[in-house]
Amino acid sequence: EAQVTQNPRYLITVTGKKLTVTCSQNMNHEYMSWYRQDPGLGLRQIYYSMNVEVTDKGDVPEGYKVSRKEKRNFPLILESPSPNQTSLYFCASSPRTSGRSYNEQFFGPGTRLTVL
């Protein structure tokens, strides 16, 4: 089944403890992206990747890192999580980096992170 998977789906952690949220897609998509969703603020883009080894900042990159060593994986790393990073995180991918299929983003199921 074609899908975007995220792990873990739920995570409670403490301030300062490094964590990684994994994202994997099995559709051979070029483009991948991370968003956070907070009540009343919609989805805000954290980082995106146009292809392997190509990453760029979105609107809210502070406190996050990403890497794209393989086409299928795009992990989100929080080196020193803080309570203001408590949020619902979504990974997404799309087939191309240009043209109309570029806009067909497929979203993962989300990861709910709580930082105490």
Partner 1 sequence: GQQLNQSPQSMFIQEGEDVSMNCTSSSIFNTWLWYKQDPGEGPVLLIALYKAGELTSNGRLTAQFGITRKDSFLNISASIPSDVGIYFCAGRTNTNAGKSTFGDGTTLTVKP
Residue numbers at the binding site for partner 1 (CB under 8 A): 4, 31, 33, 35, 40-45, 48, 50, 56, 58-59, 90, 92, 97-98, 100, 102-105, 107-110
Q: Is residue 21 a contact partner of residue 13, using CB atoms and an 8 Å limit?
A: no
Residue holding tokens 């099995």?
26
Angle at 12 between CA 7 and CA 17, to 5 degrees: 90
Nearer to partner 1, 41 or 116 (CB): 41
Q: Which is nearer to partner 1, 18 or 68 (CB)?
A: 68
For residue 101, the SS3 value is helix
Taking the complex as a whole, how short is the minimal distance between the CB of residue 13 and partner 1, in angstroms?
Answer: 21
Q: Find the shortest distance in angstroms from Cβ 15 to partner 1.
A: 27
Closest among 37, 4, 34, 1 to 20, alpha carbons compared: 34
| Nearest approach, Cβ of residue 62 and partner 1 (Å) | 13
- Rounded Cα gap, residues 29 and 9, in angstroms: 22
**Rounded to the nearest whole angstrom, what is the least distance from the CB of residue 91 to partner 1 in the complex?**
8
Alpha-carbon span 16 to 109, nearest angstrom: 25
- Taking the least distance from each CB to partner 1, the nearer of 24 and 33 is 33
